[in-house]
Structure 1
Amino acid sequence: MISSILLASAASGFVYGITPGPGVLAVLGIGADQGRRAGAAFLGGHLVGDVLWASIALAAIIGVHGIGPVVFDLLGLISGLYLLWLGARAVTARRRGAEDASARVQRPLAHGLVFGLTNPKAYPVAVATFTALLSARADELSWGMLPVLVLASLAGGVFAYAILVGLVGAGTVRRVYRRHETLITRLSGVLFIGFAVNALAHAAPGLAGQRFRLLPGRA
């Protein structure tokens, strides 16, 4: 049903927005140093980049699926392996210095806009996340659904950022995050590995079936 596809797209936008990464680390630092208003401004600018990368990722997923299920399965395989690599790196992450987690900025909105549009990891992470959560409904994706899928992902991202705005700037959150930053990063790695397993579980059967059909004597 279309509602489950939209829910999956919204979940992708939520996960993409709230999972600890460069953007989340930046807003936690800005919020702790300059308050919720500055953190909200940063996320408002960053959201523009999120919409752009989510739109491109969804267009790529729909386009690849239109070419054929084998190509889509290959994309799922690559995305799953990429998420697995990210998860493994996060699980084995070491504690960083405090200067890496925070930065004082004079124009949080503009900084967030530039940060969101130029993050080199944004597109591959978006493709991997959306592929992992939408692969089960791949047969139902179409170009006509692209606008509503983008809107659903935007709704999920806004919800994720609303939670972050509620958290940043709070003294307790700052102390807990700085104290347990490595643990939080590693837990996010476990989450990425879970998405990777999901993507690989949906891609592997299709690729295995294609290989089986190509064996000699198989039509």
Structure 2
Amino acid sequence: MTPSLLMAVLASGFIYGITPGPGVLAVFGIGAAHGRRAGAGFLCGHLLGDVVWCSTALIAIVGAREIGSTAFDVLGVLSGLYLFWLGVRAVRARRSHVEAPQGPARQPFWHGILFGLTNPKAYPVAVATFTALLSSRAELLHWSMLPWLIVLSFIGGLMAYAILIGIVGARQVRSLYQRHELAITRLCGVMFIGFAINALVHALPGLMPNKA
């Protein structure tokens, strides 16, 4: 495994874990209401869902690559379009006056597991994010390295969650996040659009007819 591929997988796991979404909003609400320990418990449970969805996404990506470059390029185009759609939605987002759900106070760990495993957007976002960041290194992906890919994505997710655990639990943090939530969401939208363009740039040439 090359250093560039290693860093790409780590970055994919990190970005998937730290990008604002339902899970991040929930942990900020739980942490502010019940403390850092409850927020950490929620994230530890939520990590199981991340491992399941990221592993499934990596299996799909490597499988598409092994089937042939055309299948991977098609996956890259679909992922790019999906990320672009998410990015445009985020950039055009408007402020919400609805409070983020805080979840049960007594069993945040089990709440995190249920939350992580039942998020309907988890799998497509994981596939799109990993495909966008790994598309330029598609030729390096093989079944033999799948366990390492899963481990590296897990480490990336842990790094993201370590940062989240470090900042949750303070009402000031939640207040700051809510105050700038729209700007953060739009910034993430721009980032998703950038990932989408990267995926499309690497996938579309492979689907173009060869005129030579």
Root-mean-square deviation over aligned CA pairs: 1.2
Distance 2:110 2:31 in 1: 15
- 1:182 equivalent to 2:182? Answer yes
Tell me which residue corresponds to 1:157: 157
TM-score of the pair, normalised by structure 2:
0.96
CA 1:104–1:127: 2 relative to 1, 3 Å:
closer
Say how many residue pairs are matched: 211
1:205 to partner: Cα distance: 1.4
- Aligned amino acid, residue 110 of structure 1: W
SS in 2 for 1:212: coil
Given that residues 14 and 159 in structure 2 are in contact (C-alpha distance below 8 angstroms), is that contact kept between their aligned partners in structure 1? yes
> Percent identity of the aligned residues?
64
Tell me which residue corresponds to 2:204: 204
1:173 to partner: Cα distance: 1.4
- Aligned amino acid, residue 101 of structure 2: S
- Aligned amino acid, residue 109 of structure 1: F
Q: Deviations over 1:50-109 (max 9, x none)?
A: 01111110010011111110110010000000000001111111111242x132413110
Distance 2:147 2:49 in 1: 16
TM-score of the pair, normalised by structure 1:
0.93
In structure 1, the gaps of 5 or more residues are: none
Given that residues 28 and 102 in structure 1 are in contact (C-alpha distance below 8 angstroms), is that contact kept between their aligned partners in structure 2? no
Tell me which residue corresponds to 2:113: 113
Given that residues 26 and 103 in structure 2 are in contact (C-alpha distance below 8 angstroms), is that contact kept between their aligned partners in structure 1? no
Bigger radius of gyration: 1
With 55-64 and 177-186 compared, the bigger mean Cα shift is at 177-186
Matches within 5 A, 1:49-198: 49-99=49-99, 101-105=100-104, 106-198=106-198
Given that residues 34 and 104 in structure 1 are in contact (C-alpha distance below 8 angstroms), is that contact kept between their aligned partners in structure 2? no
Distance 1:118 1:175 in 2: 27
Given that residues 103 and 111 in structure 2 are in contact (C-alpha distance below 8 angstroms), is that contact kept between their aligned partners in structure 1? no
Distance 1:212 1:80 in 2: 22
